[in-house]
Amino acid sequence: MTSTSAESIMDAAAHLIERDGVEAFTMRGLADRLGVAVTSIYWHVGGKDALFDRLVERLLGELANLPADGSSPVERIASLARNQRRVLIDRQHLLAIAHERDRTPMLFLPIQQTLAAQLAELGVTGTDAALVLRAIQVHVISSAVMQFSAVRGAKHDEEDPSLWTDDWPDRELVRALQSPTDYDAVFDYGLDALVAPLRDRRQPSGSSEY
Amino acid sequence: MTSTSAESIMDAAAHLIERDGVEAFTMRGLADRLGVAVTSIYWHVGGKDALFDRLVERLLGELANLPADGSSPVERIASLARNQRRVLIDRQHLLAIAHERDRTPMLFLPIQQTLAAQLAELGVTGTDAALVLRAIQVHVISSAVMQFSAVRGAKHDEEDPSLWTDDWPDRELVRALQSPTDYDAVFDYGLDALVAPLRDRRQPSGSSEY
DNA sequence: ACCTGAACACCGTTCAAGT
DNA sequence: ACCTGAACACCGTTCAAGT
């Protein structure tokens, strides 16, 4: 009764990828998992490309209607960014697929409108708003894309100590750089810097700059 | 006289990847290009993994000794970041390889020391310096990693206009978001925000905060 | 020391054939 | 409408064999 519908195939694929990673995924492996001939997958969802495209669509769905908590526009923008990031980190493998299929720009879309509304409340509009909006989006998505790869890389190789001369004065810095990167802290630092210029903004009293 | 040394194999591989992309690269294709049997490549440089590792090493070499122009520490930090970014964009395909092999953290290393020196001039040391340093590095590398994928993606698909209701008040914003992203501008905006907190810093008069 | 061809174990995908 | 097995054109890699 493993009714081999398109939807249940996608579920199995997502599960397999989540467990073994994208690079370990094969059509034949998926077919085995489903107890089905490979070719039957082609009938239901199409080839690997179509299957991955559908997975990205799923991720896009999860990104829609994210909550924006906070009592001020700036706080809501930061909240939105953090919530988007959380989903992307939770769905690392789907994010990796979106990346390698050149679909990362689509990840902008789901929260674009909400972000724009919050910026409008701050009086940020037009090309200014577009720039800020994209800067935030690139920060969220690109740092998530890289974190995934970076964290996996950190498990294998030891630090290269030869790059630091032993007489470098700031021992605390050297020690900090030798311990693994806290990507959450790095992300928050960057996000805070990005929204800082928005903090001393008038409410929509007009559009005066300077 | 195409002396098939390890070095000339790497040159050919880099050229092929630069021209046709990473995903189009095959061992057999490289062998054809060199007018040689596939197996001979294995003797000189090893398998595909070893070959890609060497390419990343090359990229690391290019990242060493980047110039840091500017009359103040903050300007030199920004200059360093921009120069690193330029190399990464120029070597997009090698960056993509480094990314998919989980080697992006290694790209931090070549300019880490120079960056630390400039931060020290500003009185930023210890764990503070480590955080700022990593925030800058993540900004440079991750945005470059993503830009590559995003720009290629933008060529295929048209914008999805259904997401913007026609009565959205800010027409200028909608128009700006429909035109392709200017990643240079987005990068500069982010970099500027990241170094902004460093601008109102004392010279190494001490370590007083607040 | 260097290069080769044959062979192996994998891929994704197509297609004619079944029910 | 749904599922199958066989077959094709590719991969990366190993290894015994040549010179």
Q: What is the pLDDT of residues A111-169, one digit of tens each?
A: 999 999 999 999 999 999 999 999 999 999 999 999 989 998 887 665 565 567 767 88
Dump pLDDT digits (tens) for B191-205. 999 999 999 765 555
Helices (H), A21-66: 27-34, 38-44, 48-63
What's the pLDDT score for residue A7?
94
Whether CB of A157 is under 7 Å from strand C: the answer is: no
Q: Is the pLDDT of residue B173 over 90?
A: yes
Percent of the residues in chain B that have a pLDDT greater than 70, as a whole number: 89
Partner residue opposite A170 with nearest CB, options B125, B134, B181: B125
Cα-based angle B23, B159, B95 (whole degrees, multiple of 5): 30
Q: Is the pLDDT of residue A2 over 80?
A: no
CATH number of B68-198: 1.10.357
Cβ atoms of residues B112 and A176 within 8 Å: no
* B1-15 average pLDDT score: 85
Q: Is the pLDDT of residue B68 over 70?
A: yes
What's the pLDDT score for residue A207?
46
Cα-based angle B51, B57, B63 (whole degrees, multiple of 5): 145
Q: Is the pLDDT of residue B40 over 70?
A: yes
Three-state SS for B96? helix
Q: Is B4 left (phi over 0), alpha (psi -120 to 50) or beta?
A: beta
Q: Half-sphere exposure of residue A115, counting CA atoms within 13 Å on the CB side?
A: 28
Instruction: Please indicate whether, in this complex, the C-beta atoms of A176 and B138 are within 8 angstroms of each other.
Output: no
Q: How far is the CA of A26 from the C1' of C9 (A)?
A: 14
* A189-204 average pLDDT score: 86
Please provide residue A157's backbone torsions phi and psi, each rounded to the nearest 5 degrees. Answer: -90, 145
Whether CB of B89 is under 7 Å from strand C: the answer is: no
What's the pLDDT score for residue B153?
83
What's the pLDDT score for residue A79?
98
Show me where the domains of chain A are located. Answer: 6-59, 68-198
What's the pLDDT score for residue B1?
41
A170: chain B residues, CB-CB within 8 Å? 116, 120, 125-126, 129
Tell me the CATH number of domain A6-59, given options 1.10.10.60, 3.30.1330.60, 2.30.36.70, 1.20.1070.10. 1.10.10.60
Window B:44-103, CB contacts with A under 8 Å: 99-103
Q: Is the pLDDT of residue B3 over 60?
A: no
Cβ atoms of residues B58 and B18 within 8 Å: no
* B74-85 average pLDDT score: 98
What's the pLDDT score for residue B53?
97
Whether CB of B48 is under 7 Å from strand C: the answer is: no
* A64-81 average pLDDT score: 96
Cα-based angle B65, B196, B78 (whole degrees, multiple of 5): 15
Percent of the residues in chain A that have a pLDDT greater than 70, as a whole number: 89
Instruction: Please indicate whether, in this complex, the C-beta atoms of B145 and A142 are within 8 angstroms of each other.
Output: yes
Q: Which residues of B101-134 are buried (b: 16+ CB within 10 A; e: fewer)?
A: bbbbbbbbbbbbebbbebbbbbbbbeeebbbbbb
Whole-number mean pLDDT of chain B? Answer: 91
Those nucleotides of strand C lying less than 7 Å from any protein Cβ are: 2-6, 10-16
Equal CATH topology for B6-59 and B68-198: no
- A156 burial type by CB count under 10 A (0-12 exposed, 13-18 middle, 19+ buried): exposed
Cα-based angle A26, A30, A27 (whole degrees, multiple of 5): 35
B120: chain A residues, CB-CB within 8 Å? 169-170
pTM for this model (two decimals): 0.92
Q: What is the band of B210 on the pLDDT scale with cuts at 50, 70, 90?
A: very low
Whole-number mean pLDDT of chain A? Answer: 91
Cα(A91)–Cα(A95) distance, integer angstroms: 6
Three-state SS for A51? helix
Q: Per this entry, what is the length of chain A?
A: 210
Least confident of B17-21, B98-102, B147-151: B147-151
* B114-127 average pLDDT score: 96
Q: What is the band of B157 on the pLDDT scale with cuts at 50, 70, 90?
A: low
What's the pLDDT score for residue B202?
57
What's the pLDDT score for residue B154?
80
Q: What is the band of A209 on the pLDDT scale with cuts at 50, 70, 90?
A: very low
